[in-house]
Amino acid sequence: MEEKMSWTVVDAVDYKGFPADRSKTGGWAPAALILGIEIVERLSTMGIAVNLVTYLIGTMHLPSSTSANIVTDFMGTSFLLCLLGGFLADSFLGRYKTIGIFSAIQTLGTATLAISTKLPQLRPPPCPNSSSNNCKQANGFQMGILHMALYLIALGTGGLKSSVSGFGTDQFDDKDEREKSQMAYFFNRFFFFISFGTLMAVTVLVYIQDEVGRSWAYGICSVSMLIAILVFLYGTKRYRYKKSMGSPIVHIFQVIVAATRKKKLDLPYNIGSLYEDTPEASRIEHTDQFRFLEKAAIVAEGDFENTYGFAPNPWKLCSLTRVEEVKMMVRLLPIWATTIIFWTTYAQMITFSVEQASTMERSIGKFQIPAGSLTVFFVAAILITLGVNDRFIMPLWKKWKGKPGFTNLQRIAIGLVLSILGMAVAAVCEAKRLAVAKGVVSDTKTLPITVFLLIPQFFLVGSGEAFIYTGQLDFFITQSPKGMKTMSTGLFLTTLSLGFFVSSFLVSVVKKVTGAKDGQGWLADDINNGRLDLFYALLTILSFINFVAFLVCAIWYKPNKPKSIVEMEAIDRSNAEEKC
C-alpha cells in the first residue's frame, strides 16, 4: 500500500478525479503544452501593443498623448482583469477551464480587431500629412469598434494569464525533491518561452502589420491561438489538477469580519487556546505580525450557530491557519506596492520610445526597420539576461551559496535598479535627439540621427524586466497560501496593470501642468516640440524614491518558515501511530 501511495501526488488528481499517478501525469511535457497558450498570448498582446500607437497616430489621426494613453489603458486593463480570472479559477471554474474559456475569448477579440482594421468604413479618410491639423480624427463609432476588439482581447488575456503560470507549477510536486528542483527552473524557462513569443511579435508580426497589412497580422494571431488551444486540450489526460479550496476573497473577508466583530476581546496568552481545525501537516507556523486578525480565532458564544449543523460560522470563527493565510497575503502588499513603478517605466518602452523611433533614421541599406520592431532589443535583453542567469549565474550561485540563484526579493531589487538606470539613460538620449530636431526644418519627417541611440534604454529596462518578472512571479506564488496561488498570481499581474494606469495618469497630469501656457509642454502632440527628456527624468527620480521604499519593505518582510523534513516525518509518524 505504501509503495502504491508513493506513485501518487497527494494533493492532485487526474482528469477523471482519481489521485494523480506520478508516472503518467505532470512534469515538463504537460507544462510545455500549457506554455504554448502563453507564448501565443504574448504574440498577440505584445504584437498589438508595441505597434498600436503608430496606428492610432498615423491611421486614426489621434494626438500623441491620447494614443499613448489608449495603449497603456489597454495593457493596464488586460492585467487588471487577471484578478477576475484568478477569482473565477479559484472559486468556480478551476485553472484548466479558465484557460480554455478565456483563450477562446481572446481569439474572438483578435478576429474582431482584424476585421476593424480591414474595413475602410471603420477608419477615417487617409491624410497625406499625418502631422497636419486638417486630418480628420476617427469618429465615435470607429473608435467604439476598435475599443470593443481591444477589450475583448484584454478580457481574454486577463482570464488566462492568471492561471497559466499556476497551472504550470501544478505539474510539479513540491514534496518530491526531484520535481521541486525542476520547479526552481520553471519560472526562468516560463518567462524565457513567453519572451520568445514577444520576440516573434516585435519582429515578424510588426513587419507583417507594416508591410503586408494589419488585418493579416491579427488574423494570424487568431489562427495561432486556435492551434494553441487544440495543443492545450491534447494534454488533458496528462495534466495534474488541484482541487479548488473555495473563494480566497471570501475567506479573507471572513477573517476580517470575524476579527472586527471581536475587536473588544483580549487575545489569550496561550496561542494553543485559539480555534484550529486544520490537520497538523497543513498548518502554517504562527507569526507575531498583525495579531489583531487572530481575534477571528477566539471561540465565543454563538460561534457554532450554523444553518448547516453544529459547525463554526465562518463569519464569526475562523481557524488559526486561515488567519495565518490572510496574514501571508497582507505581508505581500508592501512588496506589491513598491513594484508598480517599474511597470510605469516599462510602459514608456512601448509608447513614447516607439514614437521616438518613428522620428529617427531606421534604414539598414535599403531595408527600413519598423518603429515598433525596435523593441526587439528590449526582448533580446530579456532573453540574454535569462539565458546568462539560467546557465551561468544560477549554477555558480548554487556552488557558492548552496542556493539556486538570487532570491526572489534580490531579483526584484536588481530589476528596480536597472529600470532607474534605463530611465536616466533615456532622458540623456532624448535630450540629444531633441537637440538634433531643433536644428532641422520643422516639416522634416526623419531626423538625421540613428535609431540605435535608443538601444541602451531598451537593454537596461529589458534586463530589469527579466529579473523583476521572474522575481515577482516566484515571490507571489511561493509566498502565498496553497489555496490562494491563482489569486496571488492575479495580484502580481495587477502591478503591471497599475503601472500602465499610473503611466496614463502621469501623462495626463504632466500634459495638463506643463502645457497650460502654450498647449504643448513636455508631452506635445509632436514630440519634436516637447520635452520628453524631462518626463523621463521625472520617472528616474520617482523610480529612485520607490527603490528606497522597496528596500525598507524587503527588510520588514518576514516569510513563513516551511516545516522541515524532520518535522513532517515526525507528524506523519504521529498520525500513523494514532491510526494504529
The residue ranges of every structural domain in the chain are 9-244+329-556, 248-328
Report which of 409, 344, 341 is spatially closest to residue 546, judged by C-alpha positions. Answer: 341
Q: Residue 534 class from Cβ within 10 Å (0-12 exposed, 13-18 middle, 19+ buried)?
A: middle
Q: How far apart are CA 120 and CA 126, in angstroms?
A: 10
Confidence of residue 402 (pLDDT cuts 50, 70, 90): low
Q: How far apart are CA 479 and CA 473, in angstroms?
A: 10
**First-to-last CA distance in the chain?**
15
The angle that helices 28-58 and 214-234 make with each other, rounded to 10 degrees, is: 160
Residue 564 pLDDT > 60: no
Confidence of residue 110 (pLDDT cuts 50, 70, 90): very high
Which segment, 160-174, 195-209, 337-351, 391-405, is predicted with the most confidence on average? 337-351
Confidence of residue 195 (pLDDT cuts 50, 70, 90): confident
User: For residues 511, 516, 521 and 527, what is the CA-based torsion angle, rounded to 10 degrees?
Assistant: 60
**CB contact burial 495-515 (16+ within 10 A = b; e otherwise):** bbbbbbbbbbebbeebbeebb
pLDDT tens string 144-158:
999 999 999 999 988
Dihedral sign of CA atoms 74, 78, 80, 84 in order: positive
Q: Output the pLDDT for position 5.
A: 44
Residue 231 pLDDT > 60: yes
For 462-467, what is the mean pLDDT?
Answer: 90
DSSP state for residue 281 in the 8-state scheme: G
289-298, 330-339, 509-518: least confidently modelled range: 509-518
pLDDT tens string 178-192:
776 677 677 667 777
Q: Output the pLDDT for position 125.
A: 84
DSSP state for residue 65 in the 8-state scheme: H
Report which of 412, 1, 330, 27 is spatially closest to residue 181, judged by C-alpha positions. Answer: 27
Q: How far apart are CA 86 and CA 163, in angstroms?
A: 7
Q: Output the pLDDT for position 419.
A: 94
For 546-571, what is the mean pLDDT?
Answer: 69
Average pLDDT taken over every residue of the chain: 82
Question: Residue 361's CB: how many other CB atoms inside 10 A?
Answer: 16
Between the alpha carbon of residue 174 and those of residues 26, 101, 169, 513, the distances in Å are: 12, 28, 9, 52
Q: How far apart are CA 396 and CA 333, in angstroms?
A: 32
150-154, 391-395, 425-429: least confidently modelled range: 391-395
Q: How far apart are CA 128 and CA 119, in angstroms?
A: 20
Q: Output the pLDDT for position 511.
A: 85
Dihedral sign of CA atoms 244, 246, 249, 253 in order: negative
Which of 3.40.50.720, 1.10.1740.10, 1.20.1250.20, 1.10.4160.10 is the CATH number of 9-244+329-556? Answer: 1.20.1250.20
For 93-118, what is the mean pLDDT?
Answer: 91
Dihedral-angle region of residue 365 (phi above 0 means left; psi in -120 to 50 means alpha; beta otherwise): left
Report which of 124, 122, 120 is spatially closest to residue 137, judged by C-alpha positions. Answer: 124
Q: Output the pLDDT for position 108.
A: 94
Which percentage of the chain shows pLDDT scores above 70? 88
For 152-180, what is the mean pLDDT?
Answer: 81
pLDDT tens string 482-496:
767 767 777 887 888
Strands of the sheet with 19-21, listed across from one edge:
19-21, 8-13, 241-242
Q: Which three cell numbers stand for residue 566?
A: 524532520
Which percentage of the chain shows pLDDT scores above 90? 20
Q: Output the pLDDT for position 341.
A: 93
Q: Output the pLDDT for position 522.
A: 86
Q: Output the pLDDT for position 360.
A: 85
> Using an 8 Å Cβ cutoff, are 461 and 349 in contact?
yes
To which residue does cell 505532470 refer?
Answer: 26
Q: Output the pLDDT for position 546.
A: 95
Confidence of residue 404 (pLDDT cuts 50, 70, 90): low
Q: Output the pLDDT for position 442.
A: 64
Residue 203 pLDDT > 90: no
CA angle 158, 379, 464 (to 5 degrees): 85
**530 or 305, greater pLDDT:** 530
> Using an 8 Å Cβ cutoff, are 125 and 139 in contact?
no
Q: Which three cell numbers stand for residue 475?
A: 515571490
User: Would strands 8-13 and 241-242 be described as parallel, antiparallel, or unpaired?
Assistant: antiparallel
Confidence of residue 6 (pLDDT cuts 50, 70, 90): low
Residue 271 pLDDT > 50: yes
Residue 527 pLDDT > 50: yes
For 357-363, what is the mean pLDDT?
Answer: 83
Q: Residue 526 class from Cβ within 10 Å (0-12 exposed, 13-18 middle, 19+ buried)?
A: middle
Q: How far apart are CA 87 and CA 313, in angstroms?
A: 22
Residue 552 pLDDT > 90: yes
Helix/strand/coil for 295:
helix
Q: How far apart are CA 326 and CA 371, in angstroms?
A: 46
Q: Output the pLDDT for position 572.
A: 41
CB-based contacts of 337: which residues, under 8 Å, 6+ apart?
A: 553
Which H or E run contains 364? strand 363-364
Q: Output the pLDDT for position 426.
A: 92
Half-sphere exposure of 89 (CA within 13 A, CB side): 34
Helical residues (DSSP H) of 140-292, grouped into ranges = 140-169, 177-200, 206-211, 214-234, 248-261
